Every structure is written in structure tokens, then in C-alpha cells.
Amino acid sequence: MEEKYCQSCGMPMGETDELYGTQQDGSKSTDYCKYCYEKGTFTSEVTMEEEIEICVPILVEEKVCATAEEARAMMKEFFPSLKRWKQA
């Protein structure tokens, strides 16, 4: 099964819809996590670079990446493929 990620912050979404944010009508978003997306809007209006900086300490703390530099480099590769940051 293909792993699903939040299309804003890249967080793995797991098997359930528990982590998904909500649309304006209260239904679940199929793209974004509850930390990024609530009631049909993003919880914070940030640029991709800002989002990366928010996520760097989290990835280091969760031991996904060993260093901040590694986390930053990984996200710079990964984030442009996410729906929120894809250039139209």
C-alpha cells in the first residue's frame, strides 16, 4: 500500500483518517493533516521555506533525521512534490 503524507507538511498519515484535517462542511480533508488544515483553510499562511523551518526541529526531535541540516535537505527535496507547494 502506498504511504500517504500530508500534502503540506509531509507527515505520514497512517492507516486511519484520524490525522486528517477538516473541510469547511466538517468532512475530512483527503490531503492535509489536522495541524495544517482546519475547517477548509490552512492553519497558518506560510511559505514552503517557513514550513520547512517549522518542521526541522520536529524531525530532529522525532529522530527522523540526525541533524537539522539533514532534515532541511530532505524536505527541500520532498516538499516541492507536495500538493500545497507544487507550482501550478
Determine, following the binding rule CB under 5 A, whether residue 6 of this chain makes contact with Zn ion.
yes
Q: How far is the CB of 37 from Zn ion (least distance, A)?
A: 7
Q: How far is the CB of 42 from Zn ion (least distance, A)?
A: 9
Determine, following the binding rule CB under 5 A, whether residue 8 of this chain makes contact with Zn ion.
yes
CA torsion sign for 11, 17, 18, 22 is positive
Determine, following the binding rule CB under 5 A, whether residue 52 of this chain makes contact with Zn ion.
no
The DSSP code sequence of 32-54 is EETTTEETTEESS---HHHHHHH
CA distance linking residue 61 with residue 64, whole number of Å = 8
Determine, following the binding rule CB under 5 A, whether residue 29 of this chain makes contact with Zn ion.
no
Give contact residues for Zn ion (rule: CB under 5 A). 6, 8-9, 33, 36
